[in-house]
Structure 1
Amino acid sequence: MSEKYITLTKRFLGKWKWNCLICSLDIDPAKDAGNVYQCTKCRYMMHLDELKSWMASRNTKKCPLCGYEVEIES
């Protein structure tokens, strides 16, 4: 039996709005510049200070969404 694959593409029109994965607050590019981390695997965004607190409280260095090893530049 042959398998068939379909590639799906999503396009968003208008202004895209992100919410922090950890605190659920809006991520505002103008207000939060320098305080945003985007996972290199799942591409989800979160506030950097929230991510650091979350990782410290769980003694981990993995993305809360996908579990990919997080590397934060100092």
Structure 2
Amino acid sequence: MQTIETVVNVTSERQITVQLPPDIPTGEYDIVIVINESVKSEKLAGEKKIKTLKFSAYPVGLVADNFTFRREDLYDR
């Protein structure tokens, strides 16, 4: 078994052409095609600007003025 990893262009007719290395002998083979969606997403992200979510800050303040987040105050010994 041999693994060949490459990038292909899918035509509008939904066809691909793959050039195999010369060490693959002619004949009939079982092949598996895996479509990696992340490659498609990365390409689309470059072509289209993806909206990012913006969250506004909401000040909540401290629970109490004398309360701290020191490790000694948070955990029992």
TM-score if structure 2 supplies the norm length? 0.24
Q: TM-score, normalised by structure 1?
A: 0.24
> Normalized per residue, which structure has more strand?
1
Taking CA–CA contacts closer than 8 Å with sequence separation of 6 or more, which of the two structures ends up with the larger relative contact order? Answer: 1
